Each structure stands twice: as C-alpha cells, then as structure tokens.
Structure 1
Amino acid sequence: MAVRHHVIKADPAAVWEVLADGHRYAEWVVGTGESRPKRGQWPQKDASLEYEIRLGPFRLGNETVVRHCREGHLLELEIIAGPLGTARFSIELREWGDHCLIIADEHPLRGVGAVVHNVAVEALIQVRHRSMLARLARCCEDAPTRRPQPSVRQASGAEGTGRA
C-alpha cells in the first residue's frame, strides 16, 4: 500500500477548497488531462469526474468516483482506468500547527493493476505521489490568503463610531 505524507503550508480549509473543485483535479493529479464533471456534485458521494490519462503517445479515458467524503477532512476515491483496472485513493487532511498534513494512500483494487502490483510498482506509485503532493501544495500555497484580515478600525474598536 502506497502511503505518503506531506505538509502543505496552508490551512486545511484552503487545501480542501482545491480538492473540492473538480475542475482543478488535473492541476494536482499527475498525468491527468482536463477534468469534467460526469455525474453528481463533486465531491459528494457517487459524484464522478472524467478525464484522460496521458502515457507517452497513449491516451486512456478514466473516471474517478467519490466513494466517501467527510467534508474538509477526508476524500476517498475510486479511480477507474479501463483495462488497467481500479484503484482506491484516499486523501486525509489534518491540522498541523498553522499548516495541513496530507496523508495520501493508494492501492489497486481490481484488474491488471491489482494482478501486477509488487514492490517495483509500489515504488513508482511513491514517485508519482511525491510529485502529485508537491503539485497540490503549489496549488494551495500559491493561492491568495482567504482569511479575512481585520481593518485598522475593527482592530482598534472604532468600527461604526465615525472615528479612526
């Protein structure tokens, strides 16, 4: 089972905002072409996205289905890769000080991927996860801070008094 941890210098809400936007899936998932909603409201249970995976000159139509979602904390997906089979991908978000600890876990479920799964394949998945989590971090860390900052008036308690 390929499990990888990564600390993203953003709060979990900012990371969840990226994960919950199905149109941004291709920004952080390595090898994925433009994603489109296929069914349901992403990331609700049973919602899905469709996209292409590029493997050199080959293109493979894929679908990712939400199997479990705990908003803001956990997203469990089933990746359906046609003849390659299916895989479970889970991404958990935890507060880590002012940052977000990501725990990504992937393993094959059915098909060729499950049959040929071995230590070498596991190493390739780890390399892919390292790149994927770095891309996710860039999406989250480069985003403008969404936390409202108090104005000088609000901070000084002069709000609504007409005095600065």
Structure 2
Amino acid sequence: MSRCTRSVQASPEQVWSVLADGWLYPVWVVGAARIRGVDRSWPAVGSQLQHSAGLWPLLLDDNTEVVEAEPPRRLVLRARGWPAGEAQVTIELVPEGGSTRVDIHEDAVRGPGTLVPRPLRSAAITLRNRETLRRLALLVEGRA
C-alpha cells in the first residue's frame, strides 16, 4: 500500500470542504480529466461521482464510490478506472495546530492493476499521490 503525507495550511473542515465538492475532483486528483456527474448526497456512503480519466481524445469513463465517510476526518473511496481495475483510497485529515496533515493510503484491489508487482505499483501510486496532495494543498490554501 502506498502512503503519502502533506501538511496543508488550513483546518480539517476547510480541507473537507474541497473533498466534499465532487465537482472539484479533477482539479486535485491526478489522472481525472473531467466530471460527468456527482450524486447530490456526495460524499455520503454509497454516493458516486462519474469521472473520465486520461487525455483527450483517449478518455475512459468510470466512477468513484464513497465506502466510508467521517467528516471532517476520514474518507474512503473505491476508485474505478477500468480496464486498469479498482483502487481503494483512504484520505485521513489530522489536525496539527493551525494546519492539517493529510494522509493518502492507496492500493489496487481488483483487476489487472493488482498483477503489477507491489514495489513497482507502490512507487507509481506514490508519485501520483504526491502531486495529488500538492494540488489539493494549493486548492485548499487558495480558498482559505
């Protein structure tokens, strides 16, 4: 499992407000190209957002579903990106003084992505999630 951490100069509630706006997903999630729809109940357990991944014109349509939600502390997602497969993504927000430590834990859980050797898979996920956290921090701090 890949784990990345970053400190964001904002409260957990401010970080959560970005996570809770499904329409912002492609702004901070590396690989998400656009949002096609967001359930009104997002980020309630069972709610989904429909996204496209890749680069135009080679886009794949799929969805991400909320598995667990504990505002403003924890969000667990099942991100689908077939034909690569599915990943479980856990985002934890930990208050640290006037800032928030954001931890992302991710791994492939279904499909061909699970066949990639764990060290190689973890390295690729870590690189992507470092940039994802950088984008999330810029978005949150710019709104704060």
**TM superposition score category, shorter chain reference:** over 0.9
Superposed, 1:99-138 pairs within 5 Å as 99-138=99-138
Where in structure 1 do 4 or more consecutive aligned residues deviate above 4 Å? none
Q: Is the 8 A contact 2:4 2:105 kept in 1?
A: yes
1:84 matched to which residue of 2? 84
Q: Is the 8 A contact 1:47 1:65 kept in 2?
A: yes
Q: Which has the higher contact order (CA 8 A, sep 6+)?
A: 2
Please tell me whether residue 21 in structure 1 is matched to residue 18 in structure 2.
Answer: no
Number of aligned positions between the proteins? 144
Long gaps (5+) in structure 1:
146-164
Cα distance change, pair 88–22 in 1 and its aligned pair in 2 (3 A): same
Q: Deviations over 1:63-90 (max 9, x none)?
A: 1000000011100000111221111001
Q: What's the RMSD between the two structures over aligned residues?
A: 1.5
Q: TM-score, normalised by structure 1?
A: 0.83
Larger strand proportion, structure 1 or 2?
A: 2
Q: TM-score, normalised by structure 2?
A: 0.93
1:46 matched to which residue of 2? 46
Q: Is the 8 A contact 2:32 2:54 kept in 1?
A: yes
Q: Greater Rg, structure 1 or structure 2?
A: 1
Q: Percent identity?
A: 33
SS class of match (2:32): coil
Q: Is the 8 A contact 1:13 1:72 kept in 2?
A: yes
